[in-house]
């Protein structure tokens, strides 16, 4: 067995280590989500924690790790008699990103259940992690339905498996730890809320600390056993402190004053629901026990807020997580020493009333606009100040965009955009199983078995079902796509109001892509070339940040933009051939860059049409006189065109256009 890196040898990362230890003291805190850049000891610290947890007593032979002092009466391997038991180390079970539902929750053998009447259940990772740690690396890349199952089990302390009327329940109480790199995409706010605590980690910028990190890592790699032996004393001390804190936890008193501080803090930061209050209370109690105290102090409440609230304040994927510590201190000070009997009437609007200052970083939709700069125009020459063009224009307020989808039926990653064959969704047919049977199509199975009943000796009621009769249900749901934005940033697009509206439209489509679980990419073109502003990624907030800082001006190399997008799609198909693409070209349709710009743009567009790539052209042309060039581009792409106004989900013009379109010929993407 590989010797883990000692927990106490991790350099820095105080918040991460504290959050993990608090969950070790009180698993009711609800787990930890660790957010941070790659190479910041996220996985190392989590794996090291398992060595600090006390041994657990289990019923011999029980696959579900029942406690011999109080065995689970519903254990599938039970019933067990109380008493006895053997000790074993606490487990750390790792959930791979590509795991199936059956691997997570366990598998019922439907074939044996129907053909032999045997209720056979193979435990999954949730059963293995019971009374230990369940670690999910890159939790933001895990399929949504698996995250839902995972968090439901963590909240209820049990896992339920149901297949065609056969059900199994077993206990599943574990310390849930997820790690993620925000650059690869965010978790949905409602899933973020299900993690008790969150920690932001980053590599130290102090040279001395970085030197110590490298020194310890090299020493560990040279001789893991000897390195671990040098830290054995510190490891034993922390292990004993965890045991002592667990024993002290039931005696910790959470007074009314601390409770009022917790409630006031959650109200001041406008956190949705009551889960934050409960998590803060449990965290503050665990902090007191960890410190060896039986009373919760204001410092415990403050630390609990810093760990439990930042991720619960995100309202959309473009909001940066974080907490205004000045506002936190003001709230705690206002309610300090208040046990509920004070005659003072606190301001119902929270600390500072309505005049409190916002957090310094208010995200992309804050008030800190960019300073206008002279920029090159359509002829490539610098524009005079006041010409209406600038280096970066803030996006207009996002709106609810109409649904754009890829035609046909795909087989890509689960999502919410285009039709696809999936494991979850409505049943559309049946087929013979390829491998293990997961979703039984009962009617098709009966139809397959019925003609053979006489030959099988069945003359009365009932049905004899054999393995060859079983049919797998085929289902249709929705998939996530690659939405590649190709944005015209030339001088013809650079007027302040126009570019603001264009960025607002793209921001709206980015928000829609986030909600539909898409990957996104961003190609821009201006001057004499096109650039990949953002390679395909699951992080729509990264795309929003690139869009906000997008400069404009210069000629319109439309062909270069289309060819760059074509190359991005070619590479992405090699990486992920199952994920279908939707190209969204945002332009007024003009082509002025390079020799024969119009002819080159037409040839580039026809490459997409030849490959039947779904595409939409968002026509940004405005004014009383319009050339209709964007509409011509949409035809050459083999896609469809919409105006900025028609892109709105509640647009009357878009609704009329859709109705007229259905009476003619179907469009490629709508």
Q: How many CB atoms lie within 10 A of CB 85?
A: 18
Contact of 46 with 133, CB cutoff 8 Å? yes
Per-residue pLDDT at 665: 43
Integer Cα distance of 21 and 307 in angstroms = 13
Task: Name the helix (H) or strand (E) containing 639.
Answer: none
Helix axes 325-334, 256-268, angle to 10 degrees: 140
Per-residue pLDDT at 352: 38
* 241 catalytic residue (yes or no): no
Contact of 654 with 648, CB cutoff 8 Å? yes
Contact of 19 with 197, CB cutoff 8 Å? yes
Per-residue pLDDT at 668: 45
Per-residue pLDDT at 358: 38
- Using a pLDDT cut of 70, give the percent of the chain over it: 84
| pLDDT-wise least confident of 51-60, 168-177, 461-470, 597-606 | 461-470
User: pLDDT band for position 348 (50/70/90)?
Assistant: very low
Per-residue pLDDT at 165: 62
User: pLDDT band for position 280 (50/70/90)?
Assistant: very high
Q: What is the mean pLDDT of the chain?
A: 82
Integer Cα distance of 289 and 415 in angstroms = 43
476-510 per-residue burial string, b: 16 or more CB within 10 A, e: under 16:
ebbbbbbbbbbbbbbbbbbbeebbebbbbbbbbbb
- ω into 79 cis (within 30 of 0): yes
Integer Cα distance of 639 and 2 in angstroms = 55
3-state DSSP helix/strand/coil % of the chain, to nearest 5:
40, 20, 45
User: pLDDT band for position 117 (50/70/90)?
Assistant: low
User: pLDDT band for position 118 (50/70/90)?
Assistant: low
- Local structure of residue 529 (DSSP, 8 states): E
Q: Quick one: which of 636, 642, 640 has its CA closest to 618?
A: 642
The answer to whether residue 188 scores a pLDDT higher than 80 is no
The answer to whether residue 660 scores a pLDDT higher than 60 is no
Q: Strand, helix or coil at 222?
A: helix
The answer to whether residue 25 scores a pLDDT higher than 90 is yes
- Number of helices (H), then strands (E), in the chain: 21, 20
Integer Cα distance of 614 and 582 in angstroms = 5
Comparing 492 with 310, which gets the higher pLDDT? Answer: 310
For the record, the structure tokens of 567 come out as: 């190359």
Per-residue pLDDT at 424: 73
Per-residue pLDDT at 388: 38
Per-residue pLDDT at 355: 38
Per-residue pLDDT at 516: 86
| pLDDT-wise least confident of 50-64, 104-118, 597-611 | 104-118
The residues, any chain, with a CB within 8 Å of residue 91's CB and separated by 6 or more, are 50, 128, 129, 131, 132, 133
Mean pLDDT of 74-81: 85
Q: Strand, helix or coil at 442?
A: helix
Per-residue pLDDT at 303: 95
Partners of 32 in the β-ladder: 177, 197
Q: Quick one: which of 197, 181, 203 has its CA closest to 11?
A: 203
Contact of 502 with 493, CB cutoff 8 Å? yes
Contact of 521 with 568, CB cutoff 8 Å? yes
- In this prediction the pTM is 0.70
Comparing 60 with 148, which gets the higher pLDDT? Answer: 60
Q: Strand, helix or coil at 123?
A: coil
The answer to whether residue 503 scores a pLDDT higher than 70 is yes
Integer Cα distance of 201 and 19 in angstroms = 12
Mean pLDDT of 27-40: 86
Separation in Å, CA 374 to CA 350, 471, 546: 44, 67, 20
The answer to whether residue 80 scores a pLDDT higher than 60 is yes
Integer Cα distance of 502 and 508 in angstroms = 10
The residues, any chain, with a CB within 8 Å of residue 483's CB and separated by 6 or more, are 404, 509, 513, 518, 519, 520, 521, 581, 582, 584
54-69 per-residue burial string, b: 16 or more CB within 10 A, e: under 16:
eebbbbeebbbbbbbe
Separation in Å, CA 465 to CA 110, 258, 456: 12, 63, 9
* β 414-422/133-137 pair status: unpaired
Integer Cα distance of 75 and 159 in angstroms = 11
User: pLDDT band for position 385 (50/70/90)?
Assistant: very low
* Euclidean distance between the first and the last CA atom of the chain, given in angstroms as a whole number: 55
The answer to whether residue 226 scores a pLDDT higher than 90 is yes
Integer Cα distance of 444 and 462 in angstroms = 16
Averaging pLDDT over each range in 118-122, 409-413, 576-580, which range is the top one? Answer: 576-580
The answer to whether residue 363 scores a pLDDT higher than 50 is no
Per-residue pLDDT at 232: 92
Contact of 134 with 47, CB cutoff 8 Å? no
| 3-class SS letters over 264-309 | HHHHHCCCCCCHHHHHHHHHHHHHHHHCCCCECCHHHHHHHHHHHC
Separation in Å, CA 194 to CA 92, 135, 209, 511: 20, 15, 33, 22
Contact of 246 with 27, CB cutoff 8 Å? no
- Local structure of residue 8 (DSSP, 8 states): G
Distance of CA 306 to the CA centre of its chain: 21
Distance of CA 178 to the CA centre of its chain: 11
Identified catalytic residue from 103, 217, 230, 275: 275
Integer Cα distance of 471 and 477 in angstroms = 19
The answer to whether residue 369 scores a pLDDT higher than 50 is no
Set out the domains of the chain in order of their start, with CATH numbers.
14-54+90-205 (3.40.50.300), 249-355 (1.10.8.80), 423-478 (no CATH), 482-662 (3.40.50.410)
Per-residue pLDDT at 190: 67
The answer to whether residue 389 scores a pLDDT higher than 90 is no
The answer to whether residue 623 scores a pLDDT higher than 60 is yes
Mean pLDDT of 408-434: 85
- Local structure of residue 388 (DSSP, 8 states): S
Q: Quick one: which of 490, 493, 480, 558 has its CA closest to 520?
A: 480
Q: How many CB atoms lie within 10 A of CB 141?
A: 16
């Amino acid at each position: 067995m590989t010797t883990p890196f000692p927990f106490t040898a991790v350099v820095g990362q105080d918040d991460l280590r504290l959050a993990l230890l608090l969950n070790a003291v009180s698993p009711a805190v609800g787990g930890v989500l660790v957010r941070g850049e790659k190479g910041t000891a996220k996985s190392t610290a989590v794996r090291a924690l398992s060595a600090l947890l006390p041994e657990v007593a289990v019923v011999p032979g029980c696959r579900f790790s029942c406690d011999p002092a109080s065995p689970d009466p519903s254990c599938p391997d039970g019933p067990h008699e109380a008493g006895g038991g053997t000790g074993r180390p606490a487990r750390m079970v790792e959930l791979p990103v590509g795991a199936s539902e059956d691997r997570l929750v366990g598998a019922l053998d439907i074939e044996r259940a129907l053909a032999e009447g045997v209720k056979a259940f193979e435990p999954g990772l949730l059963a293995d992690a019971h009374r230990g740690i369940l670690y999910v690396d890159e939790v933001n890349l895990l399929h949504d339905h698996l995250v839902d199952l995972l968090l439901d089990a963590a909240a209820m302390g049990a896992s339920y498996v149901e297949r065609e009327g056969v059900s199994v329940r077993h206990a599943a109480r574990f310390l849930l730890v997820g790690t993620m790199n925000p650059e690869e995409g965010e978790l949905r706010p409602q899933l973020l809320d299900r993690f008790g605590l969150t920690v932001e980690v980053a590599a130290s910028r102090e040279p001395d600390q970085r030197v110590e990190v490298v020194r310890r890592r090299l020493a560990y790699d040279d001789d893991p056993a000897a390195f671990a032996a040098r830290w054995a004393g510190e490891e034993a001390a922390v292990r004993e402190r965890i045991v002592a804190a667990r024993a002290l936890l039931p005696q910790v008193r959470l007074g009314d004053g601390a409770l009022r501080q917790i409630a006031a803090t959650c109200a001041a930061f406008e956190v949705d629901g009551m889960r934050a209050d409960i998590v803060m209370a449990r965290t503050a109690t665990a902090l007191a026990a960890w410190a060896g105290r039986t009373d919760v102090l204001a410092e415990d409440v403050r630390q609990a807020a810093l760990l439990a609230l930042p991720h619960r304040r995100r309202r959309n994927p473009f909001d940066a997580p974080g907490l205004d510590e000045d506002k936190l201190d003001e709230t705690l000070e206002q309610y300090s020493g208040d046990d509920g009997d004070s005659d003072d009437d606190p301001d119902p609007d929270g600390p500072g009333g309505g005049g409190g200052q916002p957090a310094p970083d208010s995200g992309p939709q804050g008030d800190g606009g960019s300073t206008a700069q002279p920029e090159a125009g359509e002829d490539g020459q610098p524009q005079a100040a006041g010409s209406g063009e600038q280096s970066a224009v803030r996006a207009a307020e996002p709106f609810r965009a109409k649904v754009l989808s890829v035609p046909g039926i795909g087989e890509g990653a689960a999502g919410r955009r285009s039709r696809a064959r999936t494991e979850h969704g409505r049943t559309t047919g049946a087929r013979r199983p390829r491998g293990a049977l997961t979703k039984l199509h009962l009617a098709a199975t009966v139809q397959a078995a019925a003609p053979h009943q006489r030959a099988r000796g069945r003359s009365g009621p009932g049905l004899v079902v054999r393995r060859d009769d079983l049919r797998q249900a085929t289902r249709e749901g929705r998939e996530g796509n690659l939405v590649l934005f190709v944005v015209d940033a030339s001088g013809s697009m650079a007027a302040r109001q126009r570019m603001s509206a264009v960025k607002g439209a793209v921001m709206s489509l980015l928000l829609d892509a986030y909600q539909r679980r898409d990957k996104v990419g961003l190609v821009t073109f201006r001057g004499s070339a096109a650039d990949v502003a953002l390679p395909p990624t699951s992080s729509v907030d990264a795309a929003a940040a690139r869009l906000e800082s997008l400069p404009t001006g210069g000629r319109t190399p439309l062909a270069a933009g289309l060819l760059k997008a074509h190359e991005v799609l070619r590479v992405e198909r090699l990486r992920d051939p199952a994920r279908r693409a939707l190209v969204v070209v945002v332009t007024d349709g003009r082509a002025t860059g390079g020799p024969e710009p119009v002819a080159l743009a037409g040839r580039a567009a026809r490459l997409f049409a030849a490959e039947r790539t779904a595409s939409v052209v968002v026509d940004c042309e405005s004014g009383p006189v319009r050339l209709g060039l964007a509409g011509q581009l949409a035809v050459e792409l083999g896609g469809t065109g919409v105006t900025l106004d028609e892109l709105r989900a509640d647009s009357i013009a878009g609704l009329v256009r859709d109705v007229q379109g259905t009476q003619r010929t179907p469009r490629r993407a709508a």
